[in-house]
Amino acid sequence: MMSTAKFITLEGSEGAGKTTALNVIKATLDCWGVTYVITREPGGEKNAEAIRELLLHSEHLESTTELLLMFAARNEHLEKVIRPNLAQDIWVVSDRFVDASFAYQGTGRGIAWSTLEYFENMVVGDTQPDLTLYLDVDPEVGLKRAADRSEKDRIEKENLVFFENIRQGYLKRLKQFPQRIKKINANRDIAAVTQQIIHELEKAREQRVL
């Protein structure tokens, strides 16, 4: 029998509130009685986690190196975690996926959209998410939240313009894939954000997207 497992991804720039959103998704899937794994990018698999270390904690990386490492990690993650789980009828929820590369390496670092599409075709192919929740936060609000929470990694040390560009990248992807990507207004308080996430999940369930 063909697998009916679904693939959900979560996106947003720094301090958007992905940790809270993940907990809401978990609680909803538990309610639905669904079997799932939670994973993340970059990382989610042994080799990919080693690449994550390089990505987040190297002193400096060229933009092209960063792009290649993101997709190398993604390939390991897809081959060893995402596809095998989906094939066994286990849902996959990933904290970030390929849309992040369009936003961070694309509009953030200035790598051409067509280059990103080339790697997307090569590595992701048709393993695209069924649903993506994009937490849209004003960069100033997000950076303040992230700064209050913990020490910054290499990418979080970028300036405000970089994060404004990232937001534009996500909004461009949203325009391209309005059926798959749902925008959540993450500037509001946690209760309001939680409510909208549950609403989007339930709507997708009703529409048999999930």
- Work out whether 149 is an interface residue with ligand T5A (CB under 6 A): yes
Stretch that binds ligand T5A, among 8-16, 78-86, 118-126, 167-175 (CB under 6 A): 8-16
Q: 108, 109, 111, 106: which is closest to 176 by C-alpha?
A: 106
81 contributes a contact to ligand T5A by CB under 6 A: no
Q: Exposed, middle or buried by CB within 10 Å (0-12, 13-18, 19+), for 157?
A: exposed
Among 6, 77, 96, 183, binds ligand T5A (CB under 6 A): 96
Using CB under 6 A as the binding rule, whether residue 139 contacts ligand T5A is answered as no
Within residues 28-47, the interface with ligand T5A by CB under 6 A covers: 40-42
Question: 89 or 117: whose CB is closer to ligand T5A?
Answer: 117
Query: For strand 7-12 and strand 181-185, is the pairing parallel, antiparallel, or unpaired?
Result: unpaired
Interaction residues for ligand T5A, span 150-189 (CB under 6 A): 155-156, 186, 189
Starting at the earlier edge strand, list the strands of the sheet with 7-12.
36-40, 91-95, 7-12, 131-136, 181-185
d(CA 95, CA 92): 10
104 contacts ligand T5A (rule: CB under 6 A):
yes
Strands 7-12 and 36-40, bridge-based pairing: unpaired
Q: Which residues bind ligand T5A (CB under 6 A)?
A: 12, 14-20, 40-42, 70, 96, 100-101, 104-105, 145-146, 149, 155-156, 186, 189-190, 193
